[in-house]
């Protein structure tokens, strides 16, 4: 029959461990190597090159040398601070608008769409498949000076208000801050809706009933239960909207004017037209540092550090 | 059969498992499971029972010791080279394959071409012939469980390992599947090693149960042996309920030990005491709740001589159909449990009543008093 | 009062549908204007209905060439990023090793970085190395920024996979290779497919990074960008509309198929 005894403490385990364990030790490194190398050479290394370029002096003809010329940063900031400020303001406005517009739609898909859920999801994602430049150009038609949007806004005297606020000028929407923010909002809205939907969808529908059962009115339920539970989606949605919006130059170029230039436009011009590489590199470095700093503070404040 | 086939014996010698983080899941352990038996490893979560099973399957490498199947040493064989199959916890059916392909998986991997007839026969055996082309998620829990068993058994393993196979089923279905598994085991005659935290399940199905705690086997034996004669407080408390009283050895007479507890005397057969006894030494005396009879204190004179007795006061009683469970407050043990069959209920046995508890000394068992008296009590059964 | 109550109850639906309208309006415009016959060089104002552009989608110089370059880059970038990203994802989920934190941030940072910063810094690298800008520099850049998205998608899928499935395969006589091919890969496939699809879309539609690193090579988005300055041919709208329709139809088709399959089986 079966028998059990406590075995005496064994002498050092016989060295007959199978070789398969040894071979496996290097597997993760082989798997990581090509991809990580790619990211180091084409993502991390360029950052270093860019840092070094930003403190070089010289000219295109004579070549550039690292001279630890940090003054470039100061010059760049003092010359282009309006564009920096504008980038932050436009991106922040677009992010808030995305949140206000995106939340109802994400909520609708998550809780109210029923059998239409999949169809609406497709309609949110499908525009991605048409080049965003083509879609952004379509806003030129929508917001055209003689178009219906402008005439309605004019008739309702909305434009008077926005003119007074400095968002528009004259009888135009195109080539004004409003048009740029509108384009930014439009372009990055899906990046807000998808994370919002993901976190809303995880919420147990019975929580709504429980809140209602505990004397919460619908809006109170939203404020005290739904919204706090969707915070991870709100945080990642705002980040996914704000970061690309702050670095964008396509909307400002296509829908704006010289008065709405954002920092992306400046970097692009410096790099590709003026060929002032140190200034361009310094600007790009400042933008990166600013965004990383803002994102870090934001993540700390919102207390959702594990969202990535 | 005259020549006994031992190819399905499982022999573990000095096997242990210590993880990289220093946690020792299984202490060095020797265990032999004979061919054709239904063997259960019983214990709370984290006691090392699943690790032991996984070392037999080859899914976990032992830190020391060897595993033998019959005469063959398999310690260093990868799982896919061992003639052992596993029914996994929550089944691990391949979600991308239908039921037929799930069952055929092992045969195909061994290069067997004509699997159709075997799979059909196996699905018929577990009564799932109709479901062959469904995906696992379209089946109920009980059906998935049967697929998992079929998928393992079709390979005719020497040993079938079952890791909490019924944990995900509801109570009624679990009872049904227990009998079903027992039937299949008798039919195929393969060695079954069954890991469970459910003591009732282990006792219903297995011929031999090993109770594990903190990486060690506490006691091994037939279910009735373990229940009637536990060797440790852990086994006494984990398998069913035990009333344990601290007592002092007074004297020995013949093969009986006389003990002092509170003011009274208790008798314990020496053969049923697993602890060394010296006069004046301490022993834990145990008795199962259903062995005890309750008599109102007024009728104490009618109790036959020669029975162990203790006095107390009923603190609480609850009627649960087949029996009534009493909690008795007694000087030797604050919460003495007594289960009484509901045959002739004595109306005087109400909370607050003074009673005498008495039982046949042959039902008393003795344990080493150096142990934790509450070991194995209140171990939460993990809800699967 | 009744109107107010109705509005209150359906507020979310109304607001949500308005947002959906905002999202889809440009696509409607793009579609409608693919049937326009503009007067000048720009296709911003409605003139009259015409099928000309649909009859001659490649009627504009260089447009279909740029489309083909974009497709080639997208295909290669998808293959490259999916392969490298899947390997990284498996390593991250399945193995313990040093420098885990550093590797995780190296993967996260490209997604948290404004495109223009990556574009500019990559250009400084290529300039410093004296690399010839063109097809290959674009491809390198695209694989770089698609990689992180593939890793994220595959990682999520592999992490949610029950490790017991692979153990079950090994228990059922499948060796390491068989286990990977027969069980791991099929179960991870949806994650890999999602990563690949995302890569394709991101690469095909990328403008900012491409614009910096393209040299004289013109991808489709760059063609559109150039035409915004020089004059927008109607054919751009035809391509945009066709892509939108193909995408929606493909998704609807696959949904109908899965629905029907489920119904037949149930």
Q: What is the CATH number of the domain that holds B320?
A: 2.40.50.100
Residue B2 belongs to a domain: no
Res B270: pLDDT: 87
- On the question of pLDDT at B250 being above 60, the answer is yes
- Averaged pLDDT for residues A119-124: 89
**Quick one: C8 and C21 in the same domain?**
yes
**Quick one: C17 and C139 in the same domain?**
no
Domain of residue B364: give its range. 241-368
Q: Is the Cβ pair B13, A7 closer than 8 Å?
A: yes
Return all residues near B381 (Cβ < 8 A) that are at least 6 apart: B197, B198
Helices (H), chain B: 49-57, 99-109, 116-125, 141-153, 171-188, 199-205, 223-228, 233-238
Confidence of residue B252 (pLDDT cuts 50, 70, 90): confident
In angstroms, the CA C85 to CA C149 distance is 8
- On the question of pLDDT at B6 being above 80, the answer is no
**Quick one: C146 and C190 in the same domain?**
yes
Domain of residue C168: give its range. 61-232
**Quick one: B68 and B189 in the same domain?**
yes
In angstroms, the CA C23 to CA A108 distance is 15
User: What CATH number is given to the structural domain containing B45?
Assistant: 3.40.50.300
User: Could you say which residues from 42 to 101 on chain C have a Cβ atom under 8 Å away from some Cβ of chain A?
Assistant: 44-45, 84-85, 87-88, 90-91, 94-97
- On the question of pLDDT at A60 being above 90, the answer is no
Question: What is the DSSP track for A169-183?
Answer: BTTB-TTSHHHHHHH
What are the helix and strand counts (H, E) for chain C? 13, 0
Q: Which tokens belong to B55?
A: 């070392």
Residue B236 belongs to a domain: no
Res A3: pLDDT: 42
pLDDT in tens, B31-74: 999 999 999 999 988 889 999 999 999 999 999 999 999 889 99
**Quick one: C214 and C125 in the same domain?**
yes
Res C185: pLDDT: 93
Q: B67 vs chain C: nearest CA distance in angstroms?
A: 16
Of A109, A87, A138, A74, the closest CA to residue A268 belongs to: A87
User: Cα separations (Å) of A299 from A241, A292, A304, B380?
Assistant: 14, 10, 6, 39
Q: Touching check for A15 and chain B: CB below 8 Å?
A: no
Residue numbers in A near C141 (CB within 8 A) = 42
* Residue A257: other Cβ atoms inside 10 A: 16
Residue B256, classed as helix, strand or coil, is strand
**Quick one: B177 and B259 in the same domain?**
no
Q: Touching check for C180 and chain A: CB below 8 Å?
A: no
Consecutive H or E run containing B358: strand B354-359
Residue B375 belongs to a domain: no
- Structural domain tally of chain B? 2
Confidence of residue A222 (pLDDT cuts 50, 70, 90): confident
Q: Which tokens belong to C197?
A: 């699809």
**Quick one: C47 and C159 in the same domain?**
no
In angstroms, the CA A236 to CA B222 distance is 58
Q: Which chains touch B (3 or more CB pairs under 8 A)?
A: A, C
- Averaged pLDDT for residues C78-85: 97
Q: Is the Cβ pair A138, C26 closer than 8 Å?
A: yes
* A vs C: CB pairs below 8 A: 246
**Quick one: B83 and B130 in the same domain?**
yes
Question: What is the DSSP track for B103-138?
Answer: HHHHHHHTT-S--HHHHHHHHHHTT-GGGTTS-GGG
User: What CATH number is given to the structural domain containing C116?
Assistant: 1.10.3720.10
Residue B290, classed as helix, strand or coil, is helix
- Averaged pLDDT for residues B181-186: 88
Q: Looking at the partner chain, which of A29, A250, A267 has a beta carbon nearest the beta carbon of C120?
A: A267
Q: Touching check for B8 and chain C: CB below 8 Å?
A: no
In angstroms, the CA C24 to CA C248 distance is 13
In angstroms, the CA B251 to CA A99 distance is 84
User: Could you say which residues from 127 to 186 on chain A have a Cβ atom under 8 Å away from some Cβ of chain C?
Assistant: 127-142, 144, 146, 186
**Strands B24-33 and B10-18, how do they pair?**
antiparallel
**Interface test with chain A among C28, C90, C121, by most A beta carbons within 10 Å:** C121
Is the model more confident about B18 or about A63? B18
In angstroms, the CA A31 to CA A98 distance is 39
pLDDT in tens, C199-236: 999 999 999 999 999 999 999 999 999 998 888 899 99
Confidence of residue B378 (pLDDT cuts 50, 70, 90): low
**Interface test with chain A among B4, B27, B28, by most A beta carbons within 10 Å:** B28
pLDDT in tens, B291-326: 999 999 888 888 888 899 899 999 999 998 889 999
- Averaged pLDDT for residues B270-278: 84
Is the model more confident about B159 or about B345? B159
- Averaged pLDDT for residues A253-264: 92
Residue B142 belongs to a domain: yes
**Quick one: C110 and C184 in the same domain?**
yes
**Quick one: B214 and B130 in the same domain?**
yes
In angstroms, the CA B89 to CA B92 distance is 7
**Quick one: B124 and B25 in the same domain?**
yes
Confidence of residue C263 (pLDDT cuts 50, 70, 90): low
- Whole-number percent of chain A with pLDDT over 70: 90
Confidence of residue C264 (pLDDT cuts 50, 70, 90): low
Q: Looking at the partner chain, which of B28, B29, B220 has a beta carbon nearest the beta carbon of A2?
A: B220
Residue numbers in C near B57 (CB within 8 A) = 167, 171
Residue numbers in B near C171 (CB within 8 A) = 57-59, 79-80, 84-86, 88, 152
Q: Is the Cβ pair B110, C171 closer than 8 Å?
A: no
Q: Is the Cβ pair C23, A186 closer than 8 Å?
A: yes
Residue B38, classed as helix, strand or coil, is strand
pLDDT in tens, C61-74: 889 999 999 999 99
Question: What is the DSSP track for C178-234?
Answer: HHIIIIIHHHHHHHHHHHHHHHHHHHHH--HHHHHH-TT---HHHHHHHHHHH---H
CB of A113 closer than 8 Å to CB of A120: yes
CB of A212 closer than 8 Å to CB of A221: yes
**Quick one: B224 and B314 in the same domain?**
no
Confidence of residue C46 (pLDDT cuts 50, 70, 90): confident
* Residue A161: other Cβ atoms inside 10 A: 12
Residue B319, classed as helix, strand or coil, is strand
In angstroms, the CA B25 to CA C154 distance is 32
Of B286, B266, B272, the closest CA to residue B373 belongs to: B286
- Structural domain tally of chain C? 2
- Averaged pLDDT for residues C192-197: 93
A274-288 per-residue burial string, b: 16 or more CB within 10 A, e: under 16: eebbbbbbbbbbbbb
Q: Looking at the partner chain, which of B34, B64, B217 has a beta carbon nearest the beta carbon of A4?
A: B217
Residue numbers in C near B93 (CB within 8 A) = 168
Q: B14 vs chain A: nearest CA distance in angstroms?
A: 5
- On the question of pLDDT at C116 being above 80, the answer is yes
CA angle centred on A86, ends A80 and A88, rounded to 5°? 110
Residue C80, classed as helix, strand or coil, is helix
Q: Touching check for C205 and chain A: CB below 8 Å?
A: yes
pLDDT in tens, A134-186: 999 999 999 988 888 888 888 888 888 888 888 888 888 889 999 999 999 99
In angstroms, the CA B116 to CA B139 distance is 21
* Average pLDDT of chain B, as a whole number: 89
CB of B16 closer than 8 Å to CB of B64: yes
Confidence of residue C126 (pLDDT cuts 50, 70, 90): very high
In angstroms, the CA B324 to CA B336 distance is 14
Res B316: pLDDT: 92
In angstroms, the CA B297 to CA B313 distance is 9
Confidence of residue A19 (pLDDT cuts 50, 70, 90): very low
- On the question of pLDDT at C84 being above 90, the answer is yes
**Quick one: C266 and C239 in the same domain?**
yes
Which chain A residue's Cα is nearest to B9? Answer: A2
Is the model more confident about A196 or about A18? A196
**Quick one: C18 and C122 in the same domain?**
no
Res C262: pLDDT: 65
Tokens 């720009």 correspond to what residue?
C42
Confidence of residue A37 (pLDDT cuts 50, 70, 90): very high
Name the DSSP letter for residue C131.
Answer: P
* Residue B239: other Cβ atoms inside 10 A: 23
**Quick one: C75 and C199 in the same domain?**
yes
Consecutive H or E run containing B301: none
The ipTM (two decimal places) reads 0.90
**Strands B208-213 and B38-42, how do they pair?**
parallel
- On the question of pLDDT at A22 being above 60, the answer is no
- Averaged pLDDT for residues B89-109: 93
Confidence of residue A304 (pLDDT cuts 50, 70, 90): low
Query: Any idea which fold A90-302 has?
Result: MetI-like fold (1.10.3720)
**Quick one: C137 and C211 in the same domain?**
yes
Q: Which tokens belong to B80?
A: 């896919």
CB of C141 closer than 8 Å to CB of C123: no
Q: Which tokens belong to C75?
A: 């295909």
Consecutive H or E run containing B357: strand B354-359
Q: C264 vs chain B: nearest CA distance in angstroms?
A: 10
**Quick one: C88 and C106 in the same domain?**
yes
- Averaged pLDDT for residues B197-215: 91
In angstroms, the CA A268 to CA A16 distance is 63
Res C115: pLDDT: 93
Q: Is the Cβ pair C26, A40 closer than 8 Å?
A: no
**Quick one: C154 and C25 in the same domain?**
no
């Amino acid at each position: 029959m079966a028998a059990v005894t406590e075995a005496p403490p064994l002498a050092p385990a016989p060295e007959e461990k199978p070789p398969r364990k040894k071979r496996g030790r290097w597997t993760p490194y082989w798997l990581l190597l090509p991809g990580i190398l790619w990211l180091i050479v084409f993502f991390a290394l360029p950052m270093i090159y860019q840092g070094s370029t930003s403190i070089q002096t010289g000219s295109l003809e004579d070549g550039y040398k690292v001279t630890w010329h940090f003054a470039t940063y100061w010059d760049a900031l003092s010359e282009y601070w309006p564009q920096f400020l504008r980038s932050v303001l436009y991106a922040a406005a677009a992010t808030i608008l995305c949140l206000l517009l995106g939340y109802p739609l994400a909520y609708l898909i998550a809780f109210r769409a029923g059998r239409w859920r999949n169809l609406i999801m497709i309609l949110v994602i499908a525009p991605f498949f048409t080049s965003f430049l083509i879609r952004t150009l379509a806003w030129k038609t929508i917001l055209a000076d003689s178009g219906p949007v402008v005439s309605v806004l004019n008739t309702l005297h909305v434009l008077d208000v926005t003119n007074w606020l400095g968002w528009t000028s004259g009888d135009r929407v195109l080539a004004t801050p409003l048009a740029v923010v509108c384009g930014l909002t439009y372009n990055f809205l899906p990046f807000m809706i998808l994370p919002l939907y993901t976190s809303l969808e995880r919420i147990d529908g019975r929580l709504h009933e429980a809140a209602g059962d505990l004397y919460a009115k619908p809006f109170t339920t939203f404020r005290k239960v739904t919204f706090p539970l969707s915070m991870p989606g709100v945080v990642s949605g705002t980040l996914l909207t704000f970061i690309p919006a702050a670095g964008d130059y396509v909307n400002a170029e296509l829908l704006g004017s010289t008065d709405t230039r954002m920092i992306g436009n400046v970097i692009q011009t410096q790099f590709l037209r003026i060929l002032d590489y140190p200034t361009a590199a310094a600007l790009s470095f400042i933008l990166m540092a600013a965004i990383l700093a803002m994102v870090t503070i934001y993540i700390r404040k919102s207390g959702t550090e594990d969202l990535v | 059969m005259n020549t006994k086939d031992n190819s399905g014996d499982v022999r573990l010698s000095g096997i242990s498992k210590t993880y990289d983080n220093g946690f020792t899941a299984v202490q060095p352990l020797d265990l032999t499971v004979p061919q054709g038996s239904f063997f259960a490893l019983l214990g709370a979560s984290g006691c090392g029972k699943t690790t032991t099973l996984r070392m037999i399957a080859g899914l976990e490498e032992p830190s020391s010791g060897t595993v033998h199947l019959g005469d063959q040493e398999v310690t260093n064989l990868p799982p896919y080279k061992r003639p052992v199959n596993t029914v996994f916890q929550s089944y691990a059916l391949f979600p991308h394959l239908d039921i037929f392909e799930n069952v055929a998986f092992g045969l195909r991997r061994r290069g067997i071409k004509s699997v159709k007839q075997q799979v059909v026969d196996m699905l018929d055996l577990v009564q799932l012939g109709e479901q062959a082309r469904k995906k696992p998620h379209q089946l109920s829990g009980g059906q998935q469980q049967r697929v998992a068993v079929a998928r393992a058994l079709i390979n005719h393993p020497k040993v079938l390992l079952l890791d909490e196979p019924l944990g995900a089923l509801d109570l009624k279905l679990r009872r049904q599947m227990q009998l079903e598994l027992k039937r299949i085991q008798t039919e195929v005659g393969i060695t079954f090693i069954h890991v469970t935290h459910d003591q009732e399940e282990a006792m219903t199905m297995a011929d031999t149960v090993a109770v594990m705690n903190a990486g060690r086997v506490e006691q091994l034996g037939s279910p009735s042996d373990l229940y009637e004669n536990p060797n440790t407080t852990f086994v006494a408390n984990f398998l069913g309920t035990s009333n344990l009283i601290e007592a002092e050895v007074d004297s020995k007479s013949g093969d009986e030990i006389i003990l002092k507890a509170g003011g009274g005397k208790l008798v314990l057969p020496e053969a049923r005491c697993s602890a060394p006894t010296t006069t004046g030494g301490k022993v834990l005396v145990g008795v199962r709740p259903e062995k005890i009879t309750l008599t109102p204190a007024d009728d104490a004179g009618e109790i036959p001589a020669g029975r162990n007795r203790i006095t107390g006061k009923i603190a609480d009683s609850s009627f649960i159909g087949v029996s009534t469970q009493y909690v008795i407050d007694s000087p030797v043990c604050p919460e003495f449990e007594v289960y009484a069959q509901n045959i002739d209920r004595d109306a005087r046995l109400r909370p607050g009543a003074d009673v005498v508890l008495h039982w046949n000394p042959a039902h008393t068992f003795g344990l080493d008093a150096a142990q934790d008296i509450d070991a194995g009590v209140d171990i939460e059964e993990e809800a699967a | 009062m009744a109107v107010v109550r109705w509005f209150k109850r359906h507020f979310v639906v109304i607001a949500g549908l308005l947002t959906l309208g905002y999202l889809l309006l440009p696509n409607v415009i793009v579609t409608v204007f693919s049937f326009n016959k503009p007067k000048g060089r720009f296709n911003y104002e409605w003139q009259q209905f015409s099928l000309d552009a649909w009859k001659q989608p490649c009627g504009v110089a260089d447009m279909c060439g740029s489309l083909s370059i974009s497709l080639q880059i997208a295909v290669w970038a998808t293959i490259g990023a999916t392969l490298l990203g899947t390997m990284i994802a498996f390593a991250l989920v399945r193995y313990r090793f040093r420098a885990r934190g550093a590797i995780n941030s190296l993967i996260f940072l490209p997604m948290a970085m404004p495109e223009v910063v990556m574009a500019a810094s990559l250009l400084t690298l290529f300039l410093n190395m004296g690399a010839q800008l063109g097809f290959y520099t674009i491809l390198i850049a695209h694989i770089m920024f698609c990689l992180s998205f593939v890793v994220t998608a595959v990682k999520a899928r592999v992490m949610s996979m029950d490790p017991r499935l692979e153990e079950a395969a090994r228990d059922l006589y499948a060796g390491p290779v068989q286990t990977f091919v027969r069980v791991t890969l099929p179960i991870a496939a949806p994650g890999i497919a999602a990563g690949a699809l995302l890569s394709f879309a991101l690469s095909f539609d990328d403008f900012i990074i491409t614009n910096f690193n393209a040299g004289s090579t013109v991808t489709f988005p760059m063609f559109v960008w150039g035409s915004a300055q020089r004059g927008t041919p109607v054919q751009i709208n035809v391509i945009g509309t066709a892509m939108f329709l193909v995408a929606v139809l493909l998704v609807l088709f696959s949904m109908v198929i899965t629905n029907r399959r489920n119904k037949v089986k149930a």
